Amino acid sequence: MKNRNWVTVATFATLGLGLAACGEQPPQTAAPAAGTPSTAAETSESSTAPPATTERGETAAGDPAAEGLCKVGDLTITLGDGDSAAGTTYRQLEFINSGTRTCTIQGFPGVSYAAGGDEHQVGPAAFREGEKGEPIQLAPGQKATADVGFVQVGNYDPGTCKPTQVSGIKVYPPQETAYKIVPFEGTGCAGEQLPGNQLTVKTISD
């Protein structure tokens, strides 16, 4: 009995030495330091947003590409001759690059009647007809045009039209917040609920 106990103790001692010799140690788990993410998945990923664009897909103002657009200061705007048909007179609004740099113009100008020393708008702005055109590169001295339709507002009911003498048309180049007044003597409707469009405008073309 005594010999059996001695053998058992010796056997366990031998096994313990063998494990130690093989380097088999129980795994050690170190706690992460305070304030340090324990895995890469816990770190935030940074990304660079693309340049802001407008709903038409053009570079927004403030971006370097926007500096290439034709501004009010680059342009001389005039009203050419036209033709009349079915109670509407059509005339070309001319945009001439009078600056010293080539600029880009594209889309519909903003057009409305104006009156008074404060150049206030008279009635609704021009209705846009058709699709937006392609970009046009205007070198100094070159011209692009947009067709504007002037309805004979005398055909409207005076109570609805509210006829008002106008001294010009207010023109905003595309993607511009500044305008120019183009002289135009005539009558516009100050009423907002008109049976049709007193002004129409098409996209700028070359």
What pLDDT sits at residue 19? 36
Environment class of 166 (CB within 10 Å of its CB; exposed 0-12, middle 13-18, buried 19+) = buried
Listed as ranges, residues in the chain with pLDDT below 50 are 1-64
Q: Is the pTM of this model over 0.75?
A: no
Q: What per-residue confidence (pLDDT) applies to 84? A: 79
Handedness of CA 86, 91, 92, 93 (dihedral sign): negative
The full 3-state SS of 8-23, as one line of letters, equals: HHHHHHHHHHHHHHHC
Q: What is the pLDDT of residue 152?
A: 94
**pLDDT value at residue 66:** 57
| pLDDT for the residue numbered 31 | 41
pLDDT on residue 82: 80
Residues 24, 21: Cα–Cα separation, whole Å = 8
